[in-house]
Amino acid sequence: MDHNEQQETTHKPVKRKEMTRRQFLSYTLGGAGAFMAGGAILPMIRFAVDPILQKKEKSGFVKVIEESKVTNEPTEVKFKIHQVDGWYESDPKLAAWIAKSDDGKIYALSPVCKHLGCMVSWSGEEAPNEYHCPCHGARYTKDGKNLKVAPKPLDEYEVKTENGWVYLGPIEPNSRV
């Protein structure tokens, strides 16, 4: 091969692979379709997971009784709370047994029996000065300690007092016994 022939072969223009009209159309339509589908689907996904993305606020306290009305004898109070669970909002009614301990501290017990969830009541004929559950006979002390049938003590509400009123917050495991 002489010098000229060699130059011809080395400087051959590179043949570019061109896009066919069919390819161009399918890329363009595919891209536009994906964009439109994304525009329709993304808001639906966002709507579906929205409650998960919401920042959870600690449930608030509810004003239930005047501080001066709380004595050493447990008193039953009933109140409503506002609950938001995903898109579902409700105002369930709750109850608590409020009393003062010997050191004057106010505390509130949940009336839900720790056996199978019936409502306990304070100091009936069957159980003087104790909480008693009518379903299967569980008994608890004034502090909520389980004496019979139930496997755990009664739960306790978080309590705060402000301007002469008692407020109840979330339910927690019993810290008194």
Binding site for ligand FES (CB under 6 A): 113, 115-118, 133, 135-138, 149
Q: Pull the structure tokens for residue 138.
A: 């569980």
| Residue number with CB closer to ligand FES (94 or 149) | 149
Q: Measured from the CB of residue 131, what is the shortest distance to ligand FES in angstroms?
A: 10
Cβ proximity to ligand FES: between 65 and 138 the closer is 138
The nearer residue to ligand FES, 84 or 135, going by C-beta atoms, is 135
Give the containing element (helix H, strand E) for 35: helix 21-53
Closer CB to ligand FES, residue 46 or residue 136? 136
CA 116 and chain centroid, separation: 22
Query: How many other C-beta atoms can be found within 10 angstroms of the C-beta atom of residue 142?
Result: 20
Angle at 170 between CA 89 and CA 86, to 5 degrees: 25
At closest approach, how far in Å is the CB of 134 from ligand FES?
Answer: 8
At its nearest, how many Å lie between ligand FES and the CB of residue 106? 25
DSSP state of 69: G
